[in-house]
Chains A and B, each alone.
Chain A
Amino acid sequence: MKALYLWPDHEALSLLVLWLASVVFLWAAREPILALLRALGEFLAEGLASLARACDSAASKLHERGRAALLAAGKLEAQGKVGREIRRIDVAFTERLGQYSGLQRRLGDLVVKLETDYQDCAITPPEVPGWSNAVQAIAQIPTPGDANVQKVLESIRESSEDAAERALRQHREDTSRRHKLLAAMASRWKDVRDLMARMGDSVAKAMETTQRIHGYVEEYEKVAKDEELAARALTFSATKLFAVSALVLGVALGGAFVNFQLIALPMSELVPAGARIGGMPVAMVSALVIVLMETALGMFAMDMLGITELFPKLQGVPASRRRMLLALSLAGLLFLAGVESSLAVLRESIAAADAALKLSLSGDEARAVTDASSSQIPVIGQAVLGFVLPWILAMVAIPLEMLLDSGRHVVAGLAVLTLQGVALAGRAGAHAATKLAAMLAAVYEIYISIPLRIERLVREPGRELTPAAPAKRGETARTSWS
């Protein structure tokens, strides 16, 4: 600052001269400086307003596009649900209808048998013969002393008694047969009742499925009609799915990290331990590749099982080939699980050997031997963990697909919010730029107020004597622009 002083020994005088020079210069350059300030303010305000408009427009387009994508996804999902349900019904109905003919035949047979039995039972049973009265009447016939008459009467009585016994036996047999028929009818009625109950169940299930389909169709209709409510519901659903899948994927990543740590050390025995790829030891890269291979195989297996649809091309593969690919994926996973399990065992032995070496080098060999033979539980635990983790990791495909599906909607929503925020900031910035330029102009005029006043006095000598009209708010700023 002192370098600017005209007379370094007289600071006050130098400052005064500098101030005067600056005031005179700024007064002389008043018009272009005000124009510059105005241009700067307009430039900033226009630029920020344009930015705000562009962001608003982009946000609007993105919102529309996102909404359309969301509704399309909703439609697809609803269609998928209906399709799946119809397929399920188709399968169930095909099965039930296949069984229906047999069921009907059984029911018909049972009904015919029941009718026959009923008819058999309906046949008038032989009445109990009235032989007893006849025998009694013959027995009461007085027998004169004539031996021949007595003999004849005795013979009649005996034959009557025989006939009575035969008739009674016949009656009892008929009654027993009817009872048997009735007993058989009871079990058939039970069969008929069971069959009817099964048919009732089938019908109830069909009704339930129909209700479900009805719900899906209603949902589909809402989405198809482009309802705001449906869009909001889908947005919420996508956000929820995103959060849940991100959480599950985070947990799965933790599992993958444990998995990686489990095999990174023993891999150094299988690959050149000193070599590196991009600064990372090859052993670690190999362990990472194994973990990624498990994930990839899991994704294939999940696709083949029809749980996910990460590879659309695989959906068109014939069923026999799908089964083959599924078997290959599962076999690969089994193989990798076996490899990991053995590596986990190897890891324990390497760690024990390292510990023993360190103790041995520090001259404590006795302790090394004792520690090394302590327990087998960690080895077993690591082996089991090494075998199980790949299978758990294979299921990452499910949350991954959910995350990818819901992520695009969530990201689009976030992008819209960001753009809207930028637009808001742009509008605020444009307003601030206008006001700031006006304020700078006012400050500028305050700085050169003395030469301005002198200029006015010189140009309009009479006006200064009259009291100035009260200035309206913001007038100074507006005057400055003119």
Chain B
Amino acid sequence: MVLKRLALVCALFALTACSDARDYSQAVAVLIDVSGTYADQTPEVARIVKREILPGLVPGDTIAIVRIDSESYKKSNVEALVTLDNRPSHANAQKLDLAKKLDAFAARGERSQYTDIPGAMMLAAEYLRETGAKSRAIVLFSDMESDLPPGTKRQFGEHEFDGIRIVALNVKQLARDNANPDLLRSRLASWEHEVTHAGAGGFNTFMDAAKLGPFLAEIR
């Protein structure tokens, strides 16, 4: 009788102790702006992603590279979507492959007429939700100036970014931002207001790209 109870307790413990790997994995969506005002930053963005994001990813993590162009809410805007293999050596190979893709993407020198940032964010949020990862983040490389083409409508849902942390990095100051820094500040504040109302776990902006790695490790 005692043995049976002990076995039952052990089985319960084993069931509760063995958890899904997704509970500890991280999914990161990197959104890269290729609009006219930001396209020149693409090589620098590729370098930052390779240096600050890729080394910190571990087996089981997912990374998506999404292009922000005129119409970003399209599947074809996903430049790469990789879930790292459980074996570290294979995961390393995947990282190297992704680094090559990023280099190729930067080398393309693509430029779009409009800037559909919300569309890319919505697309990224859907992909991130699908991964089921415990820690989810959208990293935005843009000037944060949305410029939608005529006839395009973007409206965040109430729970659009539930459980997702949003980081804006390498935000390029536009010419008018230099004239009046309040414009940039109010733009960022407006983004923060929008995404937090859409359920985002937070909106951070970093001037120093080196802070991204520790931040992602912190929210893991």
Contacts and interface: CB of A to CB of B under 8 A. Distances in A.
Interface of A: 268-269, 272-279, 350, 353-354, 357-358, 360-363
Contacts of A277: 17-19
Contact of A361 (B19, B51, B60): B51
B198 interface: no
Contacts of A353: 89, 92
A273 B60 contact: yes
Interface string B55-80: 10011110000000000000000000
Interface in B25-71: 25, 47, 50-51, 54-55, 58-61
23 contacts: A272-B21, A272-B86, A273-B58, A273-B59, A273-B60, A273-B91, A274-B21, A274-B24, A274-B58, A274-B59, A274-B60, A274-B61, A275-B18, A276-B21, A277-B19, A353-B89, A353-B92, A354-B92, A357-B96, A361-B95, A361-B96, A361-B99, A362-B51
A361 B50 contact: yes
B87 interface: yes
Nearest to B24: A276
Contacts of B54: 361
B23 interface: yes
B88 interface: yes
Q: Is the interface of B mostly helix, strand, loop or mixed?
A: helix
List the 6 closest A-B pairs by CB distance, nearest first.
Answer: A274-B60, A273-B59, A274-B21, A278-B17, A361-B50, A272-B86
A218 B86 CA distance: 66
A274 B18 CA distance: 12
A269 B87 contact: yes
B21 A357 contact: no
Residue of B18, B47, B88 most packed against chain A (CB within 10 A): B88
A269 B89 contact: yes
Contacts of B61: 274
A76 to B, nearest CB: 30
Contacts of B96: 357, 360-361
Given A269-B89, A274-B58, A361-B54, 5 more contacts: A268-B59, A273-B88, A274-B60, A354-B88, A361-B51
A357 B23 contact: no
B201 to A, nearest CB: 21
A133 to B, nearest CB: 115
Nearest to B103: A363
A278 B15 CA distance: 10
A274 B17 CA distance: 14
Given A273-B58, A275-B21, A360 B88 contact: no
Given A278-B17, A360-B99, A362-B51, A273 B86 contact: yes
Contacts of A362: 50-51
A363 B58 CA distance: 20
B50 A268 contact: no
Nearest to B90: A269
B49 to A, nearest CB: 9
Interface of B: 17-19, 21, 23-25, 47, 50-51, 54-55, 58-61, 86-89, 91-92, 95-96, 99
A467 B21 CA distance: 91
Nearest to A275: B21
A147 B54 CA distance: 143
Contacts of A269: 87-89
Contacts of A268: 59, 87-88
Residue of A268, A275, A279, A353 most packed against chain B (CB within 10 A): A275
A238 B52 CA distance: 57
A360 B89 CA distance: 15
A414 B188 CA distance: 64
A324 B60 CA distance: 44
A358 B54 CA distance: 9
Contacts of B92: 353-354, 357
A362 to B, nearest CB: 5
B19 to A, nearest CB: 6
A268 B84 CA distance: 13
Nearest to B55: A358
A400 to B, nearest CB: 24
Nearest to B16: A278
A279 B25 CA distance: 12
A389 B173 CA distance: 58
A363 B100 CA distance: 11
A454 to B, nearest CB: 73
A407 to B, nearest CB: 25
A353 B61 CA distance: 19
Nearest to B98: A361
B26 to A, nearest CB: 10
B157 to A, nearest CB: 30
Contacts of A361: 50-51, 54-55, 95-96, 99
Contacts of B91: 273
Contact of B88 (A275, A278, A350, A363): A350
A63 B51 CA distance: 66
A352 to B, nearest CB: 11
B164 to A, nearest CB: 20
A301 B17 CA distance: 32
A274 B86 contact: yes
B97 to A, nearest CB: 11
A348 B193 CA distance: 48
B19 A279 contact: yes
B107 to A, nearest CB: 14
B87 A273 contact: yes
